[in-house]
Amino acid sequence: MATVSAKIPEELKRELDDAEVNISEVIRGALEDEARRRRREDIAEEAVELSKEVDVDAEEITRAVRESRDER
């Protein structure tokens, strides 16, 4: 695994510690969610481009890609 660091205000750190928040777990989850969101955006943009080249609706392409990905 790679190491990522971030600076946060001391007060926020104290609050998180007091609440016994696993900061690494929260950050990891947030970064995974962001990466997933961006991949979906990229797929949607690619679908729009593909739909311009072929006579298929972009939403139909996006739906097919998602279904294919979900089957994995």
The predicted pLDDT at position 31 comes to: 97
Would you say residue 51 lies in a domain?
Answer: yes
Total structural domains within the chain: 1
Residue bearing tokens 């928040």: 21
pLDDT given for residue 6 in this prediction? 93
**Is the CA virtual torsion 19, 13, 36, 40 positive or negative?**
positive
pLDDT at 71: 75
Does residue 40 sit within a domain? yes
Q: Are the C-beta atoms of 26 and 19 separated by less than 8 Å?
A: no
Average of per-residue pLDDT values in the chain: 89
pLDDT score at 72 = 66
**5 located within any domain:** no
pLDDT at 47 over 70: yes
The DSSP call for residue 13 is: H
Two structure tokens written together for 68:
């294919």
The predicted pLDDT at position 58 comes to 72
CA distance 52 to 55: 7
26: in domain: yes
Token duo for residue 70? 């979900």
- The residue length of the chain stands at 72
